[in-house]
Every structure is written in C-alpha cells, then in structure tokens.
Amino acid sequence: MKHIFGPVTSRRYGLSLGVDLSVPKTCSFNCSFCQIGPTPQTSVTRTAQPPIQDILAELHQWLKSKEPADFITAAGSGEPTLHLHFSEVLRFARNEARCRSLLLSNGSLFSLPEVRQDAALADVVKISLHAWDQHSFESISRPHPSLCFDAIIEGYRQFRLDFKGQIDLEVFIVPGINDTPDQVRKIANIAASFHPDTIMLNTAVRPPADNSVTRCPQTHLRLLAHLFTPVAQAVGDEPAASFPDLKPEVLLELVSRHPASLRFLSTGFKKPEQEIRALLDSLASSSKLRIAEHQGELWVFPQ
C-alpha cells in the first residue's frame, strides 16, 4: 500500500489505520523537533495531491481484508489539512468502515472556516500548541511566513464552539525554548481558552530534525503537566505498539514513515533485539534503510 499503513496499536488510540495524505514532506511548519526530518520548503497551498481516488481505492482494498481497526487516522508525512479532500477519509471511516476517525493536525490552517468545517467530521481531532506568541511560535515551529499565531488560536476557539467531538492537544516541550514554568503557564492559559478534552506533553524521544534539540527530563515534564487544566499527561516515552508478523516489507513500511528505535521495534514485533538487528543489518547492507545511534540507542531511518 502506498498511502495507508498499519493498523498498529497505540496506548492512546487503540488499533489505528494510518492514511498518509501528504507528498513527503509537505508541511506548513518546519518544526525543530520533527521526527520526520526538516521540511524542504514550508507551504500553505492546499492541493489535491496525492489523488484522493488512489487513497480511497486503497481504503476499499483494506476494507475487503476485514482487518479490525478502532480508528482510521488522517495523518502522514506532513500536514493532512493541506490536502483539499482530507474530509473524504473521515467520511469513509464513518460511512463505509463504520469506525471512529482521527485527524492528526498541527492546526496551522484552522484559521480557515473550510478547514474547520471539514475537520469537524472527525470523531477526534488532535491539534498542537507549543508557543505563546508570534515570536515563540516562529522559534519552535518555524512556520510558513504567512502564518499568524493569534489567527490560529482564534481558529481553535471557533472550532471548539462548533465541534462536539473530542479535541486532544499536544504540547511539545523543547528544553531552553519553552520549558520554564512561566513559559508553560502562558501556553496553559491559551489552551484553557479553547477547552481541549485531553492534553499531552511530549518531548524529543525520537531523533529530531534539529540535532540541537534535546529531550526534556521526564521528572520535569511531569511537574509542568500540573500547570494545565485538565492536568496534562506527560508522554515522553515512545507509545506502546503492536505490529504484524516480522517481515522485511512490514518493517520497511513502518520506518519509511517514522524513525524507530531497536527497542521499540523489538517490543512491537515481540521479537528479541538480536533477531530484529539481524534483519536490519541485512536491509541496511542493501541500502533499503540506515541505522544510526542517537542518545545511546540504535535507531532505524529510511534510506
């Protein structure tokens, strides 16, 4: 499959089938902490690529397999709301797959009424907030020059007024940029103005786009969590996951979208690290992926 991946199991959303709505890597942000790597050129131009017919064809093919899923997730290797027809994935989940839908968005286009209207078709919408003003927004998210922090936040407030589903908020903590209690309290005050149902604090567990970005200690993350209402969940560690049988094509598909640690793969495939490493070495020797060390752990990246 070119556009869909999984289903995989996560602590937060159960069994989730991912739908990649982006041409890698198309995004409105160039976040310093992004696990997918730098954005070659930020964009706010909404397009119809990849063709929605191709994506829906793969979803129908998956539906025939009768594989179970709790969520169909609009996500991928960029910002899904940049696709003009991302709502078709949400409609497919509701009308044909008859399972819940999840939109994973950086929220950059929520100032647009049409994006908010389409996003409201999801059962759960996960958006982000890592800053408290335009300057901090530019420092952390490195957005397209046209994007205005205040307009995005007003879009969140309008979305909350109209949307009856669940809003999950992710706040990414970058030490030295947005990790002091005063800074996080400002973020928390803004979050309170649009009333997210859940809040998750995250930090650089996977290798970030900018190598200078470091991980926030878990103890500090837990302290910051109490500045939010409701109290945030300090994520910090890679979510638990469960993958299909260990096969080269399955492993390559997985790491093609997100770098993964050897420990994470061993847990997900329920195989000893030595067995995973042997397969990784074989794939690396044929230039299908690459292996590197990050913060004392072995990580696997797409070639």
Given a contact cutoff of 8 angstroms between Cβ atoms, the answer to whether 55 and 89 are in contact is yes
pLDDT digits (tens, 9 = 90+) for 292-301: 776 677 877 7
Mean pLDDT value of segment 243-250: 76
pLDDT above 60: residue 240:
no
Task: Give the model's pLDDT for residue 147.
Answer: 98
For residue 116, give the 3-state DSSP assignment: helix
Question: What HEC string does 168-235 produce?
Answer: EEEEECCCCCCCCHHHHHHHHHHHHCCCCCEEEEECCCCCCCCCCCCCCCHHHHHHHHCCCCCCCEEC
How far is residue 129's CA from residue 196's CA, in Å, rounded to a whole number?
Answer: 11
For the four alpha carbons of 267, 268, 274 and 275, in that order, the dihedral sign comes to positive
Buried b / exposed e across 84-97, counting CB within 10 Å, b at 16+? bbbbbbbebbeeeb
Mean pLDDT value of segment 7-14: 80
Report in angstroms the alpha-carbon separations of 106 from 31, 164, 170, 219: 10, 19, 9, 26
Tell me the longest C-alpha to C-alpha distance in the chain: 53
List the domains of the chain with CATH numbers: 4-242 (3.20.20.70), 243-303 (1.10.10.10)
Mean pLDDT value of segment 236-243: 59
Mean pLDDT score across all residues of the chain: 89
How far is residue 227's CA from residue 286's CA, in Å, rounded to a whole number?
Answer: 49
pLDDT digits (tens, 9 = 90+) for 38-83: 999 999 999 999 999 999 999 999 999 888 899 999 987 889 999 9
Question: Both tokens of residue 120?
Answer: 């409201």
The vertex-224 CA angle with 228 and 184, nearest 5°, equals 70
Given a contact cutoff of 8 angstroms between Cβ atoms, the answer to whether 253 and 5 are in contact is yes
pTM: 0.81
Buried b / exposed e across 199-232, counting CB within 10 Å, b at 16+? bbbbbbbbbbbeeebebbeeebbeebbebbeeeb
pLDDT digits (tens, 9 = 90+) for 139-195: 999 999 999 999 999 999 999 999 999 999 999 999 999 999 999 999 999 999 999
Residue with tokens 């640690």: 261
Mean pLDDT value of segment 195-206: 92
